[in-house]
Structure 1
Amino acid sequence: MFGQPPYDLPQRFAFILVPEFSMMPVTSAIEPLRLANRAAERQLYDWSMYSVDGEPVTASNGLVTAVSGTLDAIPAHATIVVCSGLDVQQHTDKRLVSWLRKMGRRGNDIGALCTASHILAEAGLFDGHRCTIHWENLPGFSEAFPDIDVTGSLFEIDRDRFSSAGGTSALDMMLSLISRQHGPDLAAEVAETILHSPVRHHSEHQRMSLPARIGTRHPKLVSIIEQMEQNLEDPLSPTVLARQAGLSTRQLERLFRRYLDRSPKRYYLELRLRKARSLLLQTDMSVINVALACGFSSPSHFSKCYRAFFGRTPYRERGVPSLDKAVSGQAAE
């Protein structure tokens, strides 16, 4: 079980790098282990990098990382950490998925950093387990794996499975691991060394609060936007939003113009289009199903709005420009 004191020291970590992996979560996971060894004055943890083919892997920032070997070189009882980042679906290698299933049956602790939760889910390793993923990928993940209990937490540790949302959340996850295995004093010393205070609880949200994101704490505006975010598939009318907030539609309009410099209808549309882009890039859903999931009843209207906002059609976003003309023809009819 991840977090239980290991039978033997050092505890071995095998970081499996997937092309275009995010560098920050990987370094955020490794540095606490290094500093725990230093503070304890003994080798508590050991780690190495691996790739599917044993070749160096290029991160999303362009840096190339050498590895110690292929998957077959990973020690039998290692704690396995899969690391990915951009275009995780494109880089989900069938050989890795098959190997992970085998390791899961063997009983290894297996986890994911950033978007690698998608790879573990593909392998069936999160069935019956809680997990998390970066907030940008959360809508697509939920659509692709509706039966998996995915949260918006910084990290999740559920028995022999663990995951962190990306960025510096891996740091908090490893500090939690160190605290569980070797005591809170050691974890606190590591956190102070890397100037990370306070240590965040796993259940803290990934994103800034809504008031921080929109730049105002106006309670009625915050409440209305929360309603919009919760109702993207079946958008609420301005009349309904105004009534729920105890406002007239004219007051609703003025509120959005004053604080967000756009109409409520426009703001709502942008929320839906951003979700649509996330689904287009992170799932295999058809363009029509993406449109429906984001509150558009007409594919042609969806394409027109998408192109006006992002400068390209949903099909071109998917790399299928040949369908643009057909969609444009529908829109013109």
Structure 2
Amino acid sequence: MSRPTPRDADAAKRYVFVLLDRFTMLCFASAIEALRIANRMSGRTLYEWALAGDGGEVAYCSAGIGYKLDMDLEELTREDTIMLCGGIDVQSATTKRILNWLRREARRGSVVGGLCTAGYTLAKAGLLDGKRATIHWENQDSFSEEFEDVTLTKSVFVIDGNRITTAGGTASIDLMLKIIANDHGEELANLVADQLIYTSIRTDQDTQRLSIPTRIGVRHPKLSQVIRMMEHNIEDPISPASLAKEVGMSTRQLERLFRRYLNRSPKRYYMELRLAKARNLLMQTDMSVINVALACGFASPSHFSKCYRAQYDTTPYRERGTHASKPDIIVK
């Protein structure tokens, strides 16, 4: 196959959306709709797009809906922007062929982006080493453990040079509005946002998820501070006495605050945070149970297993085995 010829400088900017197996429809649709509306509101073809995927035939999203692809993993031009769309079990969807294709295209200097969980695929290909990036909050723990050379943020989206990542969902809209504004001005981006009934445009400084204190309705500033400290010290837990001292109160006062607002002790709440992270790692990584235990602040596998069983009514080993044996169901 002959190499594609570069397009004219005034030609429409083309996005090649690479649909990974079981990609999230919302992140893909949000991105492509923003581009479509930009064309409509400007009265010009500012953007074009094509759908690609391994095999070049049909790609299925996580809802089981199939999308006819325009192309296989073909050679592109440097002017094309590649956008990978990820979703459920992105590890399995990240095939060797996709990784090799990505590395080849990236060597040409192409802009490469990952929507939703596809940041994993970019990192697996080595394209995010030394870069700032983001990924859906549910995948952050496992991503941090596997890719130490990537500076992971909790931002809605990140643009670092010629690498782009988003947190998924409607974050694709925020990203595309930023790109449209950079390409053609804020006025057009605002017109697109209005058409999408998108009244609050987020930037790369906005975080993708509310903090735990905000989500659970905690309004006490010192209690919120303690919860944030717990979140940031999972691997090396801090004692309740030290937490209380850090915020200028007694251990007994801290106990009363947790009982009043959360109906549990600080120790119990901290344990639940650590076990939730452990469950996430067991389901999304290949880390050994021992390493999961250590990453979540447990000194011994036996203590970890005992606590895990008390919380989830199963052992870490059975949890992983059950998760691995679940069939992948796709409606076609």
Q: Give the alignment's TM-score, normalised by structure 1.
A: 0.90
Counterpart of 2:244 in structure 1: which amino acid?
A
Q: SS where residue 35 of structure 2 aligns? A: helix
Map of 2:98 onto structure 1: 96
Map of 1:144 onto structure 2: 146
Counterpart of 1:152 in structure 2: which amino acid?
K
Q: SS where residue 12 of structure 1 aligns? A: strand
Residue in structure 2 matching 1:279, options 273, 281, 293: 281
Matched, 1:36 2:58: no
**CA offset at residue 10 of structure 1?**
1.5
Aligned mates of 1:87, 1:291 — CA distance in 2: 22
Map of 2:206 onto structure 1: 204
Q: SS where residue 137 of structure 2 aligns? A: coil
Deviations 1:165-219 (Å, cap 9, x if unpaired)? 1111110000000000011110010011111122111111111134321212101
Map of 1:290 onto structure 2: 292
Residue in structure 2 matching 1:48, options 47, 50, 56: 50
Map of 2:71 onto structure 1: 69
Matches within 5 A, 1:254-273: 254-273=256-275
**CA offset at residue 127 of structure 1?**
1.9
**CA offset at residue 246 of structure 1?**
2.3
Residue in structure 2 matching 1:171, options 170, 173, 194: 173
Map of 2:330 onto structure 1: none
Counterpart of 2:263 in structure 1: which amino acid?
D
**CA offset at residue 74 of structure 1?**
5.4
Counterpart of 1:161 in structure 2: which amino acid?
R
Q: SS where residue 304 of structure 1 aligns? A: helix
Map of 1:327 onto structure 2: none
Matched, 1:16 2:18: yes
**CA offset at residue 143 of structure 1?**
1.0
Name the CA shift for 1:312/1:69 in 2 (closer, same or farther; >3 Å). farther
**CA offset at residue 320 of structure 1?**
7.1
Q: SS where residue 137 of structure 1 aligns? A: helix
**CA offset at residue 224 of structure 1?**
0.8
Counterpart of 2:274 in structure 1: which amino acid?
R
Q: Give the alignment's TM-score, normalised by structure 2.
A: 0.91
Matches within 5 A, 1:209-224: 209-224=211-226
Deviations 1:141-180 (Å, cap 9, x if unpaired)? 1110111122111111122111111111110000000000
Percent pairwise identity: 54
Q: What CA RMSD, in Å, does the superposition of the two structures yield over aligned residues?
A: 1.8
Q: Does the 8 A contact of 1:276 with 1:290 survive in 2?
A: yes
Aligned mates of 2:83, 2:104 — CA distance in 1: 15
Q: Does the 8 A contact of 1:50 with 1:74 survive in 2?
A: no
Instruction: Could you tell me which runs of 5 or more consecutive residues in structure 2 were left unpaired when the two chains were aligned.
Output: 1-7, 324-332
**CA offset at residue 31 of structure 1?**
0.8
Q: Does the 8 A contact of 2:281 with 2:287 survive in 1?
A: yes
Q: SS where residue 49 of structure 1 aligns? A: strand
Matched, 1:238 2:240: yes
Aligned mates of 1:239, 1:19 — CA distance in 2: 48
Residue in structure 1 matching 2:120, options 113, 118, 121: 118
The count of corresponding residues between Structure 1 and Structure 2 is: 317
Matched, 1:185 2:152: no
Deviations 1:259-313 (Å, cap 9, x if unpaired)? 1111111110110011111222222221101100100111112122222222332
Aligned mates of 2:33, 2:11 — CA distance in 1: 18
Q: SS where residue 36 of structure 1 aligns? A: helix
Q: SS where residue 247 of structure 1 aligns? A: coil
Aligned mates of 1:246, 1:108 — CA distance in 2: 52
Q: Does the 8 A contact of 1:14 with 1:81 survive in 2?
A: yes
Aligned mates of 1:255, 1:305 — CA distance in 2: 24
Aligned mates of 2:51, 2:314 — CA distance in 1: 39
Counterpart of 2:187 in structure 1: which amino acid?
D
Aligned mates of 1:89, 1:55 — CA distance in 2: 21
Counterpart of 2:35 in structure 1: which amino acid?
L
**CA offset at residue 73 of structure 1?**
6.9
Q: SS where residue 163 of structure 1 aligns? A: strand
Map of 1:106 onto structure 2: 108
Aligned mates of 1:199, 1:160 — CA distance in 2: 22
Counterpart of 1:293 in structure 2: which amino acid?
A
